[in-house]
Amino acid sequence: MVERIQYDEFGLFHENAEEFGLPYDGPPTVRRERVEVEPGRSLSALVWGSTEPELVLLHGGAQNAHTWDTVAMALGRPLVAIDLPGHGHSDGPRDGPGGQLALQGNADDVAVAIRGLAPNARAVVGMSMGGMTSIALVGAAPELVRRLVLVDITPGVTAGKAKAITDFVNGPANFASFEDLLARTIEHNPTRTESSLRRGILHNAIQLDDGSWEWRYRRFRLPEGTAAERPDYGALWDILGGITVPVMLVRGMRPQSVVDDSDEATLLERVPSARIEHVEEAGHSVQGDAPLELARLLDDFVP
């Protein structure tokens, strides 16, 4: 008989609170919503709070909306965290398998979801691929982006800068057991606690009928050995060059970051008014490594 691991999507928030010393008097007000972005395809999102959302949060590639849980709990503000196409509980991308990197399609989908869930949000916050999608969103639907926060990403990212991350993401498609999946995740995330990584896996992987495990995002990947076309990030620099709303870059300063000094300098050339914040104790995943610091910066930047 296959041993099933029980997963309650909304039953782990006490662990976030305990790990980061947040007050906890019961589960936060959060629900899952779906928005149809075109016939037969929907994006899923976590809606925090019971009043009009003030923030929209977009996760990175191979992640999901729960990556923001601790940040959302620390903020205590109404917000929406969206599962990008092909990730989390969302349907696959409009461009078919491998289309998670098709930033224009992702931006078009996200625009529909924001109009449905958070049309008056004061800021869009994007980490990694979510940040790239956020920039594309400025070009596609500028009225939806009143402030822009980029979390450890600029259009200057290269395959070399992101190699350690893509090596992990493009690893085995399946794992015989939860323990195997956890061991690989710990190996590639040495600065994170085992409890946080275990929690992240439960949110981001599915146990199959035979007892093995598969990452949620792997459901919509191209066949093994097939490479997706790399997006043209240069066009995103052009969008940033014409941006008229406040911009903040939050850069992790540990070696796992994919942003370097030249990226920062280029951003300031394109957007001289951009606010730059360095988070010393974070790598690429600022929301995972230093969620309380990120929440403080967001609270300060978005009145």
Secondary structure (H, E, C), 99-145: HHHCHHHHHHHHHHHHHHHCCCCCEEEEECHHHHHHHHHHHHCHHHC
Active-site entry in 152, 203, 257, 289: 152
Q: Which amino acid is at 274?
A: A
Active-site entry in 128, 134, 257, 285: 128
Residues ≥6 apart with Cβ < 8 Å to 302: 54, 55, 122, 123, 147, 149
Place of tokens 């929440």: 295
Please tell me the distance from the alpha carbon of residue 81 to that of residue 68, in angstroms, as a whole number: 7
Q: Are 85 and 113 in contact (CB under 8 A)?
A: no
Catalytic site includes residue 195: no
Catalytic site includes residue 284: yes
Tokens (6 digits) for 30? 């959060």
Which segments of 138-186 are extended strands (E)?
A: 148-151, 174-175
Task: Classify residue 4 as exposed, middle or buried by CB count within 10 Å of its CB (0-12, 13-18, 19+).
Answer: exposed
Please tell me the distance from the alpha carbon of residue 199 to that of residue 63, in angstroms, as a whole number: 12
Residues ≥6 apart with Cβ < 8 Å to 10: 27, 30
Strands 275-279 and 247-252: parallel
Of the candidates 279, 277, 276, the residue with the CA atom closest to the CA atom of residue 288: 279
Q: Which residues are catalytic?
A: 128, 152, 284
